[in-house]
């Protein structure tokens, strides 16, 4: 254990030497760093200022200030410090889950070893690390960086010298003597900073740093390149008994009482109630059935808070990251309700969206939307008779220009949808319901469940109160053989 002054002095020495001595580039002549101080340089002193510790203010040097006495005590009692860094995570739940396993391992090790975790304020890892520290009872400090004298918020504030343009990732990596890199994207800023930090190990003990990098099979990961440069590779942690479990985790109250939050739903039984009629699928029944297609969830489920999502990812097994269209459908089936949301409509008006286009026709005209990296329609979902939706208050969408939306009565504005410029949305023949749709309150004859044929779908969609239609599609290779080159897909019921 060291005094808080000693810790801050080391951090200042590392930052000053790293950014003023040319460590980030070529060696500066005449500079040799072998320990906490070097004979060629003078380290700023430490003094007490209004109850908080700070390095002596110097416009040409890095200066550090602590926010409270509790932070000073944490620095004094720490056995060591570990910096957590990560590239931006994106929206892939499987990537979130892998990242979460590495993060929880770091947090548990920190708690057991008396290590304090350091994260850059506002970084990609911050919200996840703060939650992991709460779950594991690990000590964590947020470190802020800037050119101003002080900023309210971070536990540790590092003032960057005037004229220096340094990112928070560069600075906190330079401070570290141990780094856990939880997700590093190939070609990104974090990879470049870590590579420079690894290279600085040859500049003396002051810059000695152990860099642990998470190793995953993703082709976009920079882990293998960093390991070759001298980092220590971390394989994905082995899970026991279905994954991590943290006692006493309090889940937020779900107003919709969904027991499926953060869990993959299995509909258990032995009987698949296939729908024997096909009329509802075809154009001659146009408009009699309204179709709601499910899609994969990239992040929290509808009705699931961000905190509940992170808790599920951090403490659950790999199944919580499976949020496919089939998972979405099974979640609706178990809850018996399609939740109103505002993801694809005006956020002031959560709605349930359906289409009056017959299902097979809807699937034939579906297309992949590159800007959101998904299909606009998936072959999984629920169909409900139009008259039932109408009785619940559902109405067809009013398509028009943006100025026309303001002319609608307040109670009708949930129905408005712009016609579109690059896409004509009128072809979707959309209907909307301004509240969640309870399937269990409908006559079972007015509901159909549909899904793409697979062993998994057949094993999960069993013993339901509603009839199930299993779909198949003809591949492009088959289409060429039968001479239907103009069609992208042909869909049919089993």
Examine residue 263 and state whether it is found in any structural domain, yes or no.
Answer: no
pLDDT of res. 72? 94
Residues of the domain holding 338? 279-493
pLDDT of res. 489? 64
Examine residue 264 and state whether it is found in any structural domain, yes or no.
Answer: no
Task: Let me know whether 75 and 18 are in one domain.
Answer: yes
Counting the structural domains of the chain, the total is 2
Examine residue 259 and state whether it is found in any structural domain, yes or no.
Answer: no
Task: Let me know whether 104 and 28 are in one domain.
Answer: yes
Task: Let me know whether 148 and 283 are in one domain.
Answer: no
Task: Let me know whether 178 and 321 are in one domain.
Answer: no
Examine residue 254 and state whether it is found in any structural domain, yes or no.
Answer: no
Count Cα neighbours of 17 within 13 Å in the Cβ-side half-sphere: 31
Examine residue 470 and state whether it is found in any structural domain, yes or no.
Answer: yes
Task: Examine the fold and report which residue of 234, 267, 297 is the final residue of a domain before the chain moves on.
Answer: 234
Task: Let me know whether 130 and 189 are in one domain.
Answer: yes
Task: Let me know whether 304 and 226 are in one domain.
Answer: no
pLDDT of res. 50? 40
pLDDT of res. 456? 94
CB within 8 A of 403, min separation 6: which ones?
Answer: none
Gap between the Cα atoms of 55 and 158, Å rounded: 10
Task: Let me know whether 132 and 195 are in one domain.
Answer: yes
Give, rounded to a whole angstrom, the gap between the first and last alpha carbons of the chain: 70
> Among 288, 440, 292, 439, which residue's Cα sits nearest to residue 352?
292
Task: Let me know whether 333 and 211 are in one domain.
Answer: no
Contact assessment for residue 38 and residue 17, using Cβ atoms and an 8 Å cutoff: yes
Phi/psi at 449 (nearest 5 deg)? -110, 135
pLDDT of res. 41? 38
pLDDT of res. 111? 96
pLDDT of res. 294? 95
Widest CA span in the chain: 89
User: How far apart, in Å, are the Cα atoms of 41 and each of 17, 32, 35, 174?
Assistant: 9, 10, 12, 18
Task: Let me know whether 154 and 290 are in one domain.
Answer: no
68, 71, 77, 78 alpha-carbon torsion, rounded to 10°: -160
Contact assessment for residue 135 and residue 107, using Cβ atoms and an 8 Å cutoff: yes
Examine residue 271 and state whether it is found in any structural domain, yes or no.
Answer: no
Q: What Rg, from alpha-carbon coordinates, does the chain have?
A: 29
Examine residue 16 and state whether it is found in any structural domain, yes or no.
Answer: yes
Task: Let me know whether 224 and 292 are in one domain.
Answer: no
DSSP character for 221? B
Examine residue 173 and state whether it is found in any structural domain, yes or no.
Answer: yes
pLDDT of res. 420? 75
Task: Let me know whether 329 and 213 are in one domain.
Answer: no
Count Cα neighbours of 305 within 13 Å in the Cβ-side half-sphere: 11
pLDDT of res. 452? 93
Q: Which residues of the chain have pLDDT under 50?
A: 25-51, 239-269, 479, 482, 484-487
Gap between the Cα atoms of 387 and 366, Å rounded: 25
Task: Examine the fold and report which residue of 206, 234, 262 is the final residue of a domain before the chain moves on.
Answer: 234
pLDDT of res. 315? 95
Task: Examine the fold and report which residue of 214, 234, 254 is the final residue of a domain before the chain moves on.
Answer: 234
Tokens of 440: 């269990």
Kind of pairing between the strands at 232-234 and 210-214: parallel
Task: Let me know whether 58 and 167 are in one domain.
Answer: yes
Phi-psi group of 343: left, alpha or beta (phi > 0 → left; psi -120 to 50 → alpha; rest → beta)? alpha
The CATH number for 113's domain is: 3.40.50
297-320 b/e with 16+ CB inside 10 Å = b? beebbbbbeeebbbbbbbbbbbbb
């Amino acid at each position: 254990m060291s005094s808080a002054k000693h810790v801050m002095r080391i951090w200042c020495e590392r930052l000053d030497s790293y950014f003023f001595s040319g460590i980030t580039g070529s060696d500066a002549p005449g500079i040799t760093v072998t320990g906490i101080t070097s004979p060629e340089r003078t380290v700023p002193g430490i003094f007490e200022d209004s109850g908080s510790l700070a390095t002596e203010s110097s416009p040409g040097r890095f200066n550090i200030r602590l926010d409270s006495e509790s932070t000073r005590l944490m620095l004094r009692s720490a056995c060591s410090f570990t910096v957590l860094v990560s590239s931006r995570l994106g929206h892939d739940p499987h990537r979130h889950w892998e990242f979460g396993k590495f993060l929880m391992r770091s947090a548990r090790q920190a708690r057991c070893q008396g290590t304090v975790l350091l994260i850059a304020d506002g970084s990609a890892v911050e919200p996840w690390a703060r939650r992991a520290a709460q779950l594991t009872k690990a000590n964590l400090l947020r470190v802020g960086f800037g050119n101003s004298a002080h900023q309210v918020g971070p536990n540790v504030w590092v003032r960057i010298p005037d004229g220096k343009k340094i990112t928070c990732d560069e600075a906190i990596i330079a401070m570290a003597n141990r780094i856990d890199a939880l997700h590093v994207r190939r070609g990104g800023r974090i990879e470049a900073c870590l590579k420079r930090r690894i290279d600085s190990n040859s500049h003396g003990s002051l810059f000695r740093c152990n860099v642990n990098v998470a190793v995953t099979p993703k082709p976009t990961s920079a882990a293998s390149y960093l390991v070759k440069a001298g980092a220590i590779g971390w394989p994905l942690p082995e899970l026991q008994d279905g994954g991590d479990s943290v006692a006493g985790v309090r889940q937020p109250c779900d107003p919709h009482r969904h027991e499926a939050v953060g869990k993959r739903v299995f509909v258990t039984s032995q009987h698949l109630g296939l729908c024997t009629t096909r009329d509802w699928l075809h154009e001659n029944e146009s408009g009699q059935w309204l179709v709601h297609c499910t899609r994969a969830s990239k992040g929290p489920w509808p009705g699931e808070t961000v905190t509940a999502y992170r808790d599920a990812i951090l403490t659950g097994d790999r199944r919580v990251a499976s949020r496919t269209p089939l998972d979405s459908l099974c979640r609706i089936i178990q809850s018996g309700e399609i939740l109103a949301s505002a993801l694809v409509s005006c956020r002031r008006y959560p709605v349930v969206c359906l289409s009056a286009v017959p299902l097979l026709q809807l699937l034939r005209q579906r297309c992949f939307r590159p800007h959101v990296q998904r299909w606009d329609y998936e072959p999984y979902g629920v169909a409900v008779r139009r008259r039932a939706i109408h009785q619940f208050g559902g109405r067809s969408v009013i398509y028009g220009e943006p100025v026309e939306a303001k002319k609608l009565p307040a109670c009708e504005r949930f129905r408005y949808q712009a016609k579109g410029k690059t896409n004509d949305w009128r072809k979707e023949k959309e209907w909307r319901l301004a509240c969640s749709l309870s399937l269990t309150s409908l006559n079972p004859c007015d509901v159909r469940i549909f899904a793409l044929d697979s062993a998994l779908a057949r094993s999960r969609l069993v013993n339901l109160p509603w009839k199930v239609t299993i779909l198949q599609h003809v591949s492009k290779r088959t289409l060429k053989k039968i001479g239907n080159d103009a069609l992208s897909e042909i869909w049919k019921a089993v």
